[in-house]
Amino acid sequence: MVSALSVQPESVSHEDEAIRLLVKRAATGEEDAWRGLVDAYSRRVFAMARSRLHDDDLAEEITQSVFVTVATKLCQDGYNEQGRFEPWLFRITMNRVRDEFRRRGRHARPTDPSHLQDARIQNANNHNDSKPINAAPLRAAIEQLNDTDREIIELRHHGQLSFKQISEILNQPVGTLLARHHRALKKLKAFMTPQSESSETQS
């Protein structure tokens, strides 16, 4: 089950040249380039906001707010993250979500497993015959994760960010993040393993 949360191994260490070009063109006010950026990232931003807020309408508002901020920064020479667009974008997303929690005095709600599927999460081996996530046990497991563990799961699987990019967002070493991610997946596996199975494995 937990393998369904895995994504493909790191394959690109630097931002794609096409994205850098889109950002550069969007900064000059080119409309087609801006639409290209929105098309490339709006779904991922929305998925991450929805997973934290558990509210489609609010996630849509957050998504729009994020891209308004991005457009403003790009067009007013406020963007100085050359080569790090994705970490910058998702840092803005995280900040918007946190602002919403503070404004409403609410706590993050657990990730809905159907949202994980929406984000097109694949298993580590990228099998085409992977089985759908069993939503009920996964939901119960994620509800038991603390905020720190849930954060790494969401950045990795909703944001679909590399560990290097997450490192830039959270300002933590890649090794630390790898350990956090591994720990979070282990917790999910433990939460989803029936007590009887766990006892048999240990005996």
Burial of 144 (0-12, 13-18, 19+ CB in 10 A): middle
CATH of domain 2-202: 1.10.1740.10
- Convert 46-79 to b/e letters by CB count within 10 Å (16 or more is b): bbbbbbbbbeeebbeebbebbbebbbebbeeeeb
Instruction: Look at residue 123 in the predicted model and tell me its pLDDT.
Output: 40
What percentage of residues in the chain have a pLDDT greater than 70? 71
State the Cα–Cα distance between residues 118 and 112, nearest whole angstrom.
10
In sequence order, what are the residues at sequence separation of 6 or more whose Cβ sits closer than 8 angstroms to the Cβ of residue 186? none
Q: What is the three-class DSSP state of 25?
A: helix
* Predicted confidence (pLDDT) per residue in 149-161, tens digit: 888 888 887 788 8
Rg of the chain, C-alpha, whole Å: 18
pLDDT band of 131, cuts 50, 70, 90: low
How is residue 102 written in tokens?
Answer: 């503070």
Say yes or no to pLDDT of 6 above 50. Answer: no
- pLDDT averaged over the chain? 76
pLDDT band of 124, cuts 50, 70, 90: very low
Phi/psi at 58 (5° precision):
-70, -40
Instruction: Look at residue 109 in the predicted model and tell me its pLDDT.
Output: 52
pTM, entire model: 0.66
pLDDT band of 173, cuts 50, 70, 90: very high
Instruction: Look at residue 107 in the predicted model and tell me its pLDDT.
Output: 52
Say yes or no to pLDDT of 1 above 70. Answer: no
Say yes or no to pLDDT of 93 above 90. Answer: yes
Instruction: Look at residue 41 in the predicted model and tell me its pLDDT.
Output: 94
Residue bearing tokens 């308004």: 68
Burial of 200 (0-12, 13-18, 19+ CB in 10 A): exposed
The whole-number average pLDDT for the span 43-67 is 90
